[in-house]
A and B are shown apart, each in its own frame.
Chain A
Amino acid sequence: GAVVSQHPSWVICKSGTSVKIECRSLDFQATTMFWYRQFPKQSLMLMATSNEGSKATYEQGVEKDKFLINHASLTLSTLTVTSAHPEDSSFYICSASSLAGGTGYNEQFFGPGTRLTVL
């Protein structure tokens, strides 16, 4: 299957700082990328969907000014958590898909996740 990477795999930051998480599709071009958040012992919650070259679509209740998403190329999307607070501590997971069929099944392939801890 297609490979999606995330960087960093974990990050610890101080309250009030901003953190950027990268999501890359390594062997295919992703026209659509998704960002999920997962709190301990809970399921994945979709935060936003981004299409290359256009603004992200955020799910209800997700602050777009706090969670900045950029999908500037077909292989890279970034999520920036601005002015992070302890309640933003979570496991952030991205996924990528290609409408062009580059992945074979037009499926979503998930990255390994980024563990964010805000002190």
Chain B
Amino acid sequence: DAKTTQPPSMDCAEGRAANLPCNHSTISGNEYVYWYRQIHSQGPQYIIHGLKNNETNEMASLIITEDRKSSTLILPHATLRDTAVYYCIVRVGVSVSQGNLIFGKGTKLSVKP
């Protein structure tokens, strides 16, 4: 699986949008971009995933550049409960039989009042 690069930490004011970048310059055409987050001392939580189109769900939006070499996870109105480590992962396909989720170091997002 392709490797990803994320900033180690970011701060965001409560109520503002949090934009978390991820570089995946070696991504292959059949690899998806996944985002998970891990709140302290809990298991990871799935947020969103996409292939090449932008995606939105109730939690976040995922913007993938046209060349697919980078993406941005957007939390539109960050709250204190969004403080967590956010992991950007690329993986072939959407089936676990096509590859495991390999976690990097992620970005520690701190939402401040």
Which residue from B46, B95, B105 sits with its C-beta under 8 Å from A109? B46
Q: Which residues of A contact B44 (CB under 8 A)?
A: 44, 93, 95, 110
Asked if B2 CB lies within 8 Å of chain A CBs, one says no
Q: Which residues of B contact A1 (CB under 8 A)?
A: 46
Contact B103 A44 (CB under 8 A): yes
Contact B41 A115 (CB under 8 A): yes
Which 9 pairs between the two chains have the least Cβ-Cβ distance?
A: A110-B43, A44-B103, A97-B96, A43-B103, A110-B44, A106-B95, A93-B43, A113-B43, A112-B43
Asked if A91 CB lies within 8 Å of chain B CBs, one says yes
Smallest CB–CB gap between A115 and chain B, Å?
7
Q: Would you call the interface of chain B mostly helix, strand, loop, or mixed?
A: loop
Q: Which residues of A contact B97 (CB under 8 A)?
A: 32, 99
Q: Which residues of B contact A4 (CB under 8 A)?
A: 43
Q: Tally of A-B residue pairs with Cβ under 8 A?
A: 54
Q: Mark A1-27, 1 if CB is under 8 A from B, else 0.
A: 100101000000000000000000000
Interface size on A, residues (CB 8 A): 26
| CA distance in complex: A111, B96 (Å) | 16
Are A110 and B45 also in contact (CB < 8 A) when A43-B87, A43-B105, A43-B106 are?
yes
Closest to B94 in A: A106
Which residue from A32, A106, A111 sits with its C-beta under 8 Å from B43? A111
Are A46 and B100 also in contact (CB < 8 A) when A105-B94, A106-B95, A107-B94 are?
yes
Q: Which residues of A contact B41 (CB under 8 A)?
A: 91, 113, 115
Closest to B100 in A: A46
Of the A-B pairs whose beta carbons lie under 8 Å apart in the complex, a sample of 5, sorted by A's number, is: A44-B38, A45-B103, A95-B44, A110-B46, A112-B43
Q: Mark B18-54, 1 if CB is under 8 A from A, else 0.
A: 0000000000000000000010011111100100000
| Apart from A34-B100, A43-B103, A93-B43: 18 A-B pairs, beta carbons within 8 A | A1-B46, A4-B43, A32-B96, A32-B97, A36-B103, A44-B38, A95-B43, A99-B95, A99-B96, A99-B97, A106-B95, A106-B96, A108-B101, A110-B44, A110-B46, A112-B43, A113-B41, A113-B42
